[in-house]
Every structure is written in structure tokens, then in C-alpha cells.
A and B are shown apart, each in its own frame.
Chain A
């Protein structure tokens, strides 16, 4: 069991005594109910010096080149094996900043809540936010809460934006990718997407598959500190999976990419679930996973360093940047045949047979 889960199970944040069980439109009115929910809940739980100012915006001190990122989170169900929408929202933006080579510092947190959401569930999401922030070392410094009528949302939508200074040694840019670069994947593919599938209505199947949601900033910053400009590009293959993100990079950077199916790390249960549902794991969403384009000379050292890290113990080199076939990603199948990796025309849907 990862450190992440151990801490989560020990975390005790009793829900404040509130005289309402569900979120109502009144909680988004800006009046008494709003203040009661925020004062007794959000502010106390996420308290820090900047948030405690309770001003319209946050007063921040940032120096040097800074990264800024935003993301919205809508996931169904909002609680899934291995996490919930709260930690997803924190980790997502933290990781987007980390992929820029930045040290995430401050986040905004906004909720759009559908009327009728049990306050207990809202509290559980907030607690997950608090925990994810602690683990990543970031602070929520401003935010917003809106409530929409029943039927006009999907329980809860969360938006996070974040800023952080870029590490002085970071030289992350697609322009730096060179022929010979090795493509390293930090861990098993498709775990998050299949964890969600395993509990989605109509597709429920018994499994122990857990989402891989986690913050990657400490891992990334340690790599940048050690390998500096040899890390050419970092990206997290969330929606669309590994295939989509690599195809995007190949197209926009006009590079060729060779991948080797036999080298892809994948959990056995995840692989079986993908087979069962007829889904290609290369297109399934990930969360706590990143891809690194690393100079050929340092690739083995980066891999060895990653293997020492909880977030990189399953890391593998899965491909190489080549001069041939620019804009194309070509994968050698397990039996040695070759196929071109394209983007999906739409959402990947389970096949009939």
C-alpha cells in the first residue's frame, strides 16, 4: 500500500455540526447559508494565512519565471476506487504545473454544486482536497462556490487553477526534443480510466483496480534538479491516454516516434479489464502518470532514479524519437508487426465483441 493511502486512512477530519444534510440553492445565494457552509467548513479546513485574509482575491509573492495552469474536473462517479474528485482536482493542476518544470505553490478552488448533494459527500471531497494539498505542498488561496438547480449539474464540478515558479534548471520545451531521445513512462498505463469504468453504472465489474491519482511535483522537481536540461519534455497523458498525447507531440513537433508494445508497463487486472471491454489501454485516461522525453545519454540514469521513487517504481523506456516518418507514431506490436498510432475520432466506447 502506498504512503498516500496510509495517510488518507488515518486522517481524521470530523464533519462540523451543520443543521443541513444536503446542499440547497440557498448555499449558493451568498447569504447566511453560504457563510455557514464556508465558515464552518471550507475556511476552517483549508485555513492558511493567505486564505484567512478572506479578500476577493489572493495576495501572492512570486519571483522569476512563473507557470500558470487551470483545469476543470467532472467525473462520474465522484467517488471512485483510489480517490475522489477533490484530490483529482488538486493533483490535476499540481501535475500540469509540474509538467512545466514548475514548483506548484498556490491554487484556487471553485465548486459548482448541484442542489441535493449530501453535505457529507461535500465534506469528504474537501478533506481529500486538504490532504492532497498537504502532500503536494500547495495552498488553496482563493475560491468560489456556486449551486445550480437539480438536474443542471452532475453532483459537483470542481475547477482548480494554480501558479508556481519554474525551476531554474528546467528547460522544458517540445523544441528541445532531438532524434535519439528516449521516451520514459513513469508507471502503469490505464489504471485511472479503468478504475472509473469498474464502478460506472452499467459497466460495473468486480476488480481491485485503483486510480493512480497522485501529485507528481516532488518526483518531477527532483528529476529536474538532477538532470536539468537533459529532460526535454514532460507531459501527463490524462484524457486520450498515452497514444493521443504522443501523436499530438509528433504532429506539432514534426518528429517521428517509435514505440514498443512489449515495453508498456501495465497492471494485469487493468490489462484484463481492457480486453474484456474491448478498450485499447493506450487510449484510456491516466492521472498519476507522466511521459518524459530524455536525452539518450541520460535515459538510463533517469530511469534508475525514477525506480527509487514511489511514483516511478514501474517506469520503463517505451520508445525513441526517430528521424524517419515525421509526424507519425509507429508501434511495434508484441509479435513484431507494426501499426500507426492515430488519435481517436471520439470517445472510446466498449465494443460489442
Chain B
């Protein structure tokens, strides 16, 4: 824990807060793109500690939250109707599809398993040669290398009963979509540190230059987030718009070339639907034709009608930073973590769920 407690030092936190207060001269809106950062902000009570002139806007950065409804319906269908062993990361199980979540499908008898590594899913496939195993491969660029590796691994070992249902989302196009939205008024961004660990920072330079916004690659500990905010504010106050790296202890400019290589081997960039937001050009990964046998979408060719999202849900506006969770008329009333109407309330990383759990605005 020593390596973590260093980034939770209360004295250093006070110094950063003091410096933020001394630096900020006028109101600024900063978006933390990643749900992990939203979580850190609310869990550590940072939002209330910031000066009034600094408004944190919670971005679309929870890959679980933005997984398309239709894809969840497909995963449920594969588990319930096709009888596959459906594996996924833990927080994907609670996300509601149009009819039910994977957790509910599991309760009804479907073989749904929580895993932490897709390689484990390949092992399950090897151990169960007479069953089909599907890994619901969700995540940002961060989880893409391991998901891709599972496909390469299965291919090399000749595992025929394994495939992935890919729903990867990419951060830079999402930032671009947020900036392009006429209603959003974001002055600077905290980019997701773990995404840049894989992809590096190079993708952010053209964005920062074209839109004249500061982008600071930031980690997830309280001091990381505070320092990231300070770095954005310093740039804004000096009318700068650069890409800076707060998370230099982990992130290198070029990222992780080996991880990028395995992503490129298995995936190609495609347009991607984001739940609550809509389609964002070139913001997702599809499995390349070379590995079509491991692509659950092609392997099962499931056609399920697109179900409509709940019309009362304003999740798109929340994820673009146009509205705050408590500005939604349904927040904490009909929409709760036990009964989410939309994407940001479903995973603990989502902006609405994070607010619900930690802000104290609503009783659980």
C-alpha cells in the first residue's frame, strides 16, 4: 500500500488545492473523460473541496455504461437461447438490456461467469470442448490488448469453441464528439491515464491543437486528479492548449508498442454506437476478417431488433457534460442503481451512479 498512500497524502492534497485556488481567476469547466476519475473525484470528496470557479464535468468514460443496448440483448440471447458459456467482466453483468441483464439471465439458469481475464475464458473453452464460450469483450483501449491476445491465443491453440462479442470504445473520437457538440462548453480535459498507457499521447496532440483545448493525461489517485486539474487550470489561465502528461510515472509518449501491435493484429477501427450518445465515427474496434471465426457477431449472426432507450433518460446530455446528474428529473426517483433508466446509472463508474453513491444527495 505504500506505493498508493503516497498518492493520498492529505498534506500534499491541501497544497494542490491551495495552488488551484491561487491560480484560478475565472470560471472553468473541466471534463474528466474516464469514469475511474469520476469515481475518484466523488469517492474522495474532491468536488466539494474545489473552488466554486472550477466545475468538473463527468464525461462518457465508462465503457460498460456506453455499451449499446442491442449488444447486451445479443449477449443475453447467446447465454439464454444459444446456451453458450457467457463470460465477462464483473460490472457488465448488472447493465440492463431491453428485457434483462446478464445477472438476471444467470439467475434464470444461464451459464454466465465473471472473469478478470479473457485468457481465462479461453481456458474454459479448452476445458469445455462441447460447449461454446463467448467472452463479452468490453472496454476502452485499455482492455483491448488482453481481449485481442485471447483471440490470438485461441487461434494458436486451435480452440474452435471460443469467440468474443467485441464492444470496444476509443477515447480520442469521444473527446472530439464532445467538443463538436454545440451545447457542450468544456474548457479542458483530463484524459484517461490507463488508456494512454497503451496508446500513448500522440493521438491527443492534433485534437488539442485543432480545438485549442488543454488535455492533461491524468491518473486516478486523489493527488493525480488534483494535479491534473491544476495543470489544466494553469494552461487555461495562460491561454495555452497543450497535451501534458501528469501520469508520467506510467505513461510514455509512444505508449506500449507491443500492446498496440496485438490490438492491430486482431482489430480494425470502425464506427461505434455509444449507448446514450449515438454513433461516433471511428470510435470502436471490430474483429478483423482474418479472425472472423472468433467474432461472435459473425459466428452467430444474431439479429435482434434495436430496442428504444427510455425517453425520460437524459444520459446523452450528462455524458457530454451538458447537464449534471441532479439536473435530471428522474435522478434518484425512478432512476436508481437498482433500477437504472440509462447508461450513467448502471455501472459504479457511471457519472449518475457515482453521484448517487457518494454525493449524499439521495438516500440509498
Contacts and interface: CB of A to CB of B under 8 A. Distances in A.
Do A and B interact?
A: yes
A330 B139 CA distance: 32
Contacts of B10: 262, 334-336
Given A335-B8, A345-B338, A202 B45 contact: no
B91 A351 contact: yes
Contact of A353 (B143, B222, B336, B360): B143
DSSP class of A's interface residues: helix, strand, loop or mixed? loop
Contact of A339 (B44, B63, B349): B44
Interface in A251-303: 262, 266, 268, 271-272, 275, 277-278, 280
A298 to B, nearest CB: 29
Chain B interface category by residue count: 35 or more
A328 interface: yes
A283 to B, nearest CB: 10
A340 interface: yes
Contacts of B304: none
A22 interface: no
B324 interface: no
A330 B115 CA distance: 33
Contact of B139 (A266, A275, A327, A353): A353
B45 A345 contact: no
Given A277-B116, A353-B142, A336 B49 contact: yes
Given A346-B338, A350-B90, A339 B35 contact: no
Contacts of A201: 113
B45 A337 contact: yes
Contacts of B115: 202-203
Interface string B200-216: 00000000000000000
A338 B349 contact: no
A335 B13 contact: yes
Interface in B1-50: 1-2, 4-5, 8-10, 13-14, 34-36, 42-46, 48-49
Given A202-B113, A345-B337, A352 B143 contact: yes
Chain A interface category by residue count: 35 or more
Nearest to B35: A353
B45 A339 contact: yes
Contact of A336 (B13, B139, B358): B13
Given A349-B93, A350-B116, A339 B4 contact: no
A247 interface: yes
A352 B92 contact: yes
B89 interface: yes
Given A202-B113, A340-B360, A352 B63 contact: yes
A353 B140 contact: yes
B91 to A, nearest CB: 5
Nearest to B117: A202
Given A271-B4, A339-B359, A353 B48 contact: no
A189 to B, nearest CB: 13
A340 B116 contact: no
Contacts of A272: 1, 4
A349 B91 CA distance: 6
A353 B359 contact: no
Contacts of B64: 352
Nearest to B140: A353
A247 B139 CA distance: 33
Contacts of B348: 351
Contacts of B359: 339-340
Nearest to A280: B43
Contacts of B358: 339-340, 342
Interface string B321-364: 00000000000000011100000000111000000111110011
Interface in B102-127: 103, 113-116, 120
Interface string B81-99: 0000001011111100000
B43 A351 contact: no
A327 B336 CA distance: 19
B222 A333 contact: yes
B138 interface: yes
Contacts of B90: 349-352
Contacts of B349: 351-353
Given A268-B1, A350-B91, A353-B143, A337 B338 contact: no
A202 B44 contact: no
B120 A202 contact: yes
A271 B3 CA distance: 11
B194 interface: yes
A284 to B, nearest CB: 14
Q: Report which residue of A272, A344, A349 has the largest number of chain B beta carbons within 10 angstroms of its beta carbon.
A: A349
B156 to A, nearest CB: 22
A196 to B, nearest CB: 13
Interface string A106-126: 000000000000000000000
Contacts of A334: 5, 8, 10, 44, 222
Contacts of B36: 353
Interface of B: 1-2, 4-5, 8-10, 13-14, 34-36, 42-46, 48-49, 63-64, 87, 89-94, 103, 113-116, 120, 138-140, 142-143, 194, 222-223, 336-338, 347-349, 356-360, 363-364
In order of increasing CB-CB distance, the 5 nearest A-B pairs are A337-B45, A340-B360, A342-B364, A349-B90, A335-B13
5 contacts: A202-B120, A278-B91, A351-B348, A352-B89, A353-B35
